Amino acid sequence: MFSKILIANRGEIAVRIIRTCKEMGIATAVVYSEPDRNSMATRMADEAYFIGGSSASQSYLNVDSVLLALSRSQADALHPGYGFLSENADFAQAVADAGKVFIGPSPSAMKVMGDKISARKTAEEAGVQGVPGRSHCVNSAQDVIDFAQEVDWPVAIKAAYGGGGRGMKVINSASEAESGIESTQREALASFGRSEIYLEKYLSWPRHIEAQIAIDKFGNGIFLGERDCSCQRRHQKLLEECPAPGLSPKVRQAMGQAALKIAKHCGYENLGTIEFLYEKDKFYFLEMNTRLQVEHPVTEMTTGLDLVRLQIEIAAGQSIKDKKATFDPNMHSIECRINAEDVSGGLFSPTPGTITQFDTPGGLGIRLDAGYQSGDSLPSFYDNLVAKLISWGPNRQIAIKRMLQALTEIKIQGIKTNIEAHKAILDHKDFQDNNYSTKWVEEKLNFSNISSLETTSPNKQLALQEQQIQAEVNGKLFNVKLWISPNSQLPQAIPAQASKPLSRSSRKHHGSASKTVIAPMQGVITKIAVEVGQSIAQGEIICVLEAMKMENNVLADQNGVVKEILVSVGDSLSNGDTIIIFE
């Protein structure tokens, strides 16, 4: 077994992996970026290594920095978590070349499944049908029109390297085909560095159901049950459950067999998830995720297995032959992703900020996997997942009730969250009656009266507190504990430094007579839609600000003519920075 694992990730998943390593007696090291210096994960890990940067590309996606941390930590294995470098085959190869174990599948299996077109082909070769579509690259509007003649509109144009709910356009008629192709290719190139696109029939009322599998080095494979991830917004999952409500044992078994067939066909090893769209009693292969999923806890709560431990054991060469497929379809588990986002009006816009108070829920059948604690800040550079709240019980009804209770107990102050949206979903008759699909949250739920801000604020005793200060020596972090009264001044162990030259001073102070458009949140400018001298009308898009992996249109709130643009594409802005001045 490994003696030390480097976790190349952050947030709740880094914390999750640390916990299992501690249980297994494995030492832990994490990497951290500038804004994560004092994160929950760096506080919990045995060691922490600075990899520089703030944006994901400068830090957690920076292969050289992560590899350097791996060598400095002298860990014998690396756990990539999810997102970031977890599905990067070249990175996995580089880890192996450095003589370390990458906890995940082989680079070749990752490559096959990393491209959605080759993944579709692999599924077909294994005898599993994909969503009706084209398993090759398409380039012209005519391709889209020809395909629609076979399957009817709407058609989805999808980026072969897309992910995270991005890189898909739905086309409803021939007249939209040309522009749909162009814009998907352009966006795919900008977001994923590759422009290849392909086609699928856009299913009108599907459910997203995925199969969890595990395969060891000896080819023993087990199916660990499915998860229903149909509650989504912007094609991103919000709430997941296990088992999928109403799925017949026959379909479940067929899905598990299909998933194992696909995985074995590409020589897959370790844990993986095969995603399917399910409609009218039929399931269709969608894609494979070659890593641990965010929603893995619902499988853990229904199987009793620790999936991170399983990943580590398989990577260390242990057999899973004697592990029983302990899936119990009578147990039920639900996960709510607690995100920092403003759900008002169904917008779900990200809201980075500082958590001033975090009261956690409890009770039988409740688990909380959080990446932050009270006092922690959510940087705008990464995703907006604060915590995952998981409930389980002997049936779905009890799992729903326990979750609803936990959602009333959890209190997060200082940032807006989607807690109220989760209550609305769980309370809804359609959800309780299994009458929903991947479109249901966006099309059927009404969020107009939902507030995102928790208002209750029970006063907390701030008596003697354990405080940590941090000392960073040659890029390695040391935590020092102090017990002090809250009024004491802590020494500044780390000289305050701007995490980046965030804003030109002129962005903050400008003539009060001018009209301005300001940044509504922290973020990075990805597009400027206006020019100096241009007339703008109220409601017009001024620029696009990317925060927490989401693009947000910044709009003019009144009419005018652009006098000065104070930002450029790529600039990092703070909340309140001036973007343009107009008159």
Nearer to ligand ADP, 76 or 200 (CB): 200
Q: Measured in whole angstroms, how far is the alpha carbon of residue 512 from the centre of its chain?
A: 40
Binding mask 402-441 for ligand ADP (x = CB under 6 A): ------------------------------------x---
Nearer to ligand ADP, 48 or 148 (CB): 148
Q: Is 131 in the site for ligand ADP (CB under 6 A)?
A: yes
Q: Torsion-angle region of residue 300: left (phi > 0), alpha (psi -120 to 50) or beta?
A: alpha
121: three-class secondary structure by DSSP:
helix
Cα 375 to Cα 466: distance, rounded to the nearest angstrom: 13
Interacting residue with ligand ADP among 52, 165, 346, 353 (CB under 6 A): 165
Among 104, 105, 206, 350, binds ligand ADP (CB under 6 A): 206
The least distance separating ligand ADP from the CB of residue 274, rounded to whole angstroms, comes to 11
As a whole number of angstroms, the distance between CA 222 and CA 314 comes to 12
Stretch that binds ligand ADP, among 54-62, 195-203, 328-336, 444-452 (CB under 6 A): 195-203
Tokens found for residue 225:
């049950």
- Does 235 contact ligand ADP by CB under 6 A? yes
Phi, psi angle pair for 517, to nearest 5°: -115, 125
**Nearer to ligand ADP by C-beta: 159 or 334?**
159
Tell me if 113 contacts ligand ADP by CB under 6 A: no
202 binding ligand ADP? (CB under 6 A): yes
Q: State yes or no: residue 194 binds ligand ADP (CB under 6 A).
A: no
Instruction: Candidates 93, 96, 164, 217: give the one binding ligand ADP (CB under 6 A).
Output: 164
CB 448, min distance to ligand ADP, A = 23
Strands (E) in 51-175, as ranges, are 77-79, 101-102, 155-163, 166-171
For residue 244, the minimal CB distance to ligand ADP (Å) is 13
In angstroms, give the least distance from the CB of 380 to ligand ADP.
21
Both structure tokens of 253: 């078994």
Comparison of 177 and 525: residue with beta carbon closer to ligand ADP: 177
Distance CA 166, CA 158 (A): 9
Minimum CB separation from ligand ADP for residue 67, in Å? 26
Q: How far is the CB of 437 from ligand ADP (least distance, A)?
A: 8
Q: Does 200 bind ligand ADP (CB under 6 A)?
A: yes
Residue 287 as a binder of ligand ADP (CB under 6 A): the answer is: yes
Closest-CA residue to 198 (of 123, 141, 117): 117
* Binding of residue 275 to ligand ADP (CB under 6 A): yes
Stretch that binds ligand ADP, among 178-186, 197-205, 391-399, 550-558 (CB under 6 A): 197-205
| Cβ count within 10 A of residue 188 | 24
3-class DSSP assignment, residue 204: coil
Cβ atoms of residues 68 and 55 within 8 Å: no
Nearest-10 Cα torsion for 525, 531, 533, 534: -100
User: Cβ distance 124 to 135 under 8 Å?
Assistant: yes
Tokens 């290594």 sit on residue: 49
Are the CB atoms for 71 and 95 separated by under 8 Å?
Answer: no
Stretch of residues binding ligand ADP (CB under 6 A), selected from 15-23, 165-173, 316-324, 384-392:
165-173
Give CA 414 to chain center in angstroms: 22
What string marks each residue from 434 to 453 as x (binds ligand ADP by CB under 6 A) or -?
Answer: ----x---------------
Asked if 294 touches ligand ADP (CB under 6 A), the answer is no
When the beta carbons of 200 and 216 are compared against ligand ADP, the nearer one is 200
Instruction: State which residue, 12 or 275, has the beta carbon closest to ligand ADP.
Output: 275
Q: Which is nearer to ligand ADP, 49 or 436 (CB)?
A: 436
- The C-alpha angle with vertex 526 and arms to 522 and 531, in degrees rounded to 5, equals 105
Compose the 133-162 pattern: x for residues touching ligand ADP by CB under 6 A, - for all others.
Answer: -----------------------x-----x
Q: For residues 54 and 43, give the distance between their C-alpha atoms in angstroms, rounded to a whole number.
A: 18
* 232 sits near ligand ADP (criterion: CB under 6 A): yes
Number of residues that bind ligand ADP (CB under 6 A): 21
Give me 26's structure tokens. 């494995």
CB-based burial label for 499 (10 Å; 0-12, 13-18, 19+): middle
Strand partners, 558: none
Q: How many CB atoms lie within 10 A of CB 513?
A: 6
Give how far Cα 184 sits from Cα of 187, 192, 194, 258, Å: 5, 11, 11, 30
The reply on whether position 177 binds ligand ADP by CB under 6 A is: no
Dig out the tokens for 5 from the structure. Answer: 């694992």
Q: How far is the CB of 545 from ligand ADP (least distance, A)?
A: 21
Nearer to ligand ADP, 226 or 287 (CB): 287
Only segment of 1-9, 200-208, 247-255, 310-318 that touches ligand ADP (CB under 6 A): 200-208
Q: Which is nearer to ligand ADP, 63 or 168 (CB)?
A: 168
How far is residue 84's CA from residue 82's CA, in Å, rounded to a whole number? 7
Tell me whether residue 164 or residue 346 sits nearer to ligand ADP (CB atom): 164
* 184 part of the interface to ligand ADP, by CB under 6 A: no
CB atoms within 10 A of CB 280: 7
Q: How far is the CB of 128 from ligand ADP (least distance, A)?
A: 15
* Contact call for residue 286 and ligand ADP (CB under 6 A): yes
- Helix axes of 249-265 and 116-125: crossing angle, nearest 10 degrees: 110
Those residues with Cβ within 8 angstroms of residue 284's Cβ, 6 or more apart along the chain or in another chain: 129, 130, 131, 132, 203, 276, 277, 278
Report the nearest approach of ligand ADP to the CB of residue 208 (Å).
4
Question: Which residue, 289 or 333, is less far from ligand ADP as judged by CB?
Answer: 289
- Among left, alpha and beta (phi > 0; psi -120 to 50; other), residue 246 is left
Q: How far is the CB of 529 from ligand ADP (least distance, A)?
A: 25
Residue among 116 and 388 whose Cβ is closer to ligand ADP: 116
Interacting residue ranges for ligand ADP, rule: CB under 6 A: 131, 156, 162-166, 168, 200-203, 206, 208, 232, 235, 275, 277, 286-287, 438
